[in-house]
Amino acid sequence: MLRSDRGPRRALWFIDDAGEFPTIEMGHQEEGEENRAQRRCQNTASPTVSGLRNVTHAYKPVMEGAWGPRMSSGGGIPRQNVLRSALDKGQFLCTAELVLGRDHNMADAEAFVKAASQQEDGMKVISVTDLPSGNPALPPEGFISYITEHNLTPIAHITGKDGNRAFLEGRLLTLARLGVENVLALTGDAQREGFGGKSKPVYDLDSVLILSLIQAMRNGIEYNLGARTARSTPFDYFAGAVVNPYKVNEPDQMMQLYKLELKIAAGAQFIITQLGFNLRKLYELKQYMSREGLGHVPVFANVYVPTANIARMMQTGELAGCVVSDALVQRLANEKKPQRLERGALMVAAVKDLGFAGAHIGGFGLTHADFMTILARAADIAKDWRARMDELVFAYPGEFYLFPTGQEGLSDGTGDYQIVQNKRHPFFSQRVSRLVHRYLIAEGSMGNRFFAARLKPKAQMSSGDSWRHGFWYRLLGPSTLYRQATLGCVNCGDCLQDHLNYAGCTMHGCYKELRNGPCGGSRVDGSCEARPELPCIWNQIYLGTLALGDDPKKFARTLIPPRDWSLNLTNSLANRMAGLDNLHKRKE
């Protein structure tokens, strides 16, 4: 999640799986936007709220009488889960998001929650961010009780960028203690400012592995407590994930879709999309999920109402993962808030008609009254959005579409996938590494049988790392030099190069050291969010996989476990032969 240091007071940006996307800008007026956008984020304004109540029933957030039987079961006061109940009943639901800033005083966010709770048709599901944009901020655990005290349903964001797996488990235990079921799992944005300088990135678990942790905690995690075995108390989390359907290039887009499938397999029960401004690309996500047998998973479309200034920041990459065309920026430059709200309403009407589970609404300078205006206009527009496609499809020049063009400006979801057959030849190092793997490393190969017979018994019988001082371990030492020279190996000791087709080391080439696919923050040209001078390593892996004749769809089917830090700075080939690495812990 990104929080701009250049934007007006607490500009809210939700950027991906990487992090999150632009959302509610609390308590700002139109005047002086350009000047305020150059100041640091602050937390002093409160939103204005009006008593607008003319929203038709079709677009009302689910109300108290329709909440259904689902209730949180943690240590907090039992309460009904509006999100879960609405999805169970197939009711279209609109949600809002609050970005928590760098302060314990949340007067603006509190005012928004109060307005939502006091208005009969107000927003009933509020998501709260987790240290957005890699900057210090109040975590969601510090504000959720205020949401529940006002009889609203929270969604807590949890990212892996700032805490390791032990800390993440502790945070999830805290949410269970508070009775919070709804958790949105994200990898998190690249770090920016912090006390005394830039923060240290963590990324011990990515979004997929956070979902796996949540799934394990749903059943209770077994652990050793002295001489006996204990199990944590199960808690019925309702886990969500994020996907970016707006990527411009084929490798970027397909890896997003494959990782989405992996997230669902790991336990994601609902999806919220990245923000975007191309309805055709957005709807292709639904078409793809239906084609792949995932149509039952509810998807919330991110409906973001940008200003021209924020759109320019997205376009230049200051806000990672966003695709904004020149045509949209030019149109926004000539629009006022009523026109921008109208486009948001148009998008809400469209995604409801196209079968999305709901809309996740946000935007710079919006008040709760603005939210209600969007819902009221969406109800008025209903199915008439189809006559206004030019306001909903802002295509980026040369962008990739998965399906052929269909009717009414959307894609034909029954057509063949428009995936270009890759003509690139594999790198020489790829060919050599693949050959060596086949005959010396792969299970059952001559080299594997030879070294495993000598290393595995020693590793199993020795105490600690004493086996690593033996002759056969030292004999494999040159393999580390080869990996360093050809793949940029960092000696994690828990290698997954065979899974990546020897196309590059993500422990070295990925800023976030991701092991289960890319974040959603890559730039329009496919370069890294945090290091724009480098291409996203996962795009290289996609192309390298095709070059070797392998199917990149495998990245949707295989879950790589968390890195085992007990193997750090040891010989990964020896660990493979000794049966200590991730090979047999992978899940298909």
Please give the full DSSP string across 237-295, using - where no structure is assigned.
-EEEEEE----SSHHHHHHHHHHHHHHHHHT--EEEEPP-SBHHHHHHHHHHHHHTT-T
335-381 confidence digits (pLDDT tens): 999 999 999 999 999 999 999 999 999 887 788 999 999 999 999 99
Q: Do the beta carbons of residue 36 and residue 1 sit within 8 Å?
A: no
What is residue 134's predicted lDDT score, i.e. its pLDDT?
Answer: 80
pLDDT at 306 exceeding the cut of 80: yes
Q: Please, what are the domains in the chain?
A: 2-391 (3.20.20.220), 428-585 (no CATH)
118-130 confidence digits (pLDDT tens): 999 999 999 999 9
Q: 34: burial class by Cβ within 10 Å (0-12, 13-18, 19+)?
A: exposed
What is residue 325's predicted lDDT score, i.e. its pLDDT?
Answer: 95
CA 205 to chain centre: 12
For the chain, helix (H) and strand (E) counts, in that order, are 19, 12
Closest by Cα among 248, 234, 244 to 172: 234
The pTM of the full predicted model, rounded to 2 decimals, is 0.86
Which amino acid is located at 306 in the chain? P
Closest by Cα among 87, 38, 25 to 62: 87
pLDDT at 57 exceeding the cut of 60: no
Instruction: Show the DSSP H helices in 178-249 as ranges.
Output: 207-219
What is residue 72's predicted lDDT score, i.e. its pLDDT?
Answer: 54
Instruction: Show the DSSP H helices in 302-365 as ranges.
Output: 308-315, 326-333, 337-353
> How large a percentage of the chain has pLDDT more than 70?
86
Higher pLDDT, 407 or 258: 258
What is residue 416's predicted lDDT score, i.e. its pLDDT?
Answer: 96
pLDDT at 114 exceeding the cut of 60: yes
Averaged pLDDT for residues 544-561:
95
Report residue 159 as tokens. Answer: 């990212």
> What are φ and ψ of residue 267, in 5° steps?
130, 5
Local confidence band at 67 (pLDDT 50, 70, 90 cut-offs): very low
Averaged pLDDT for residues 230-250:
97
Closest by Cα among 259, 246, 236, 139 to 187: 259
pLDDT at 588 exceeding the cut of 50: yes
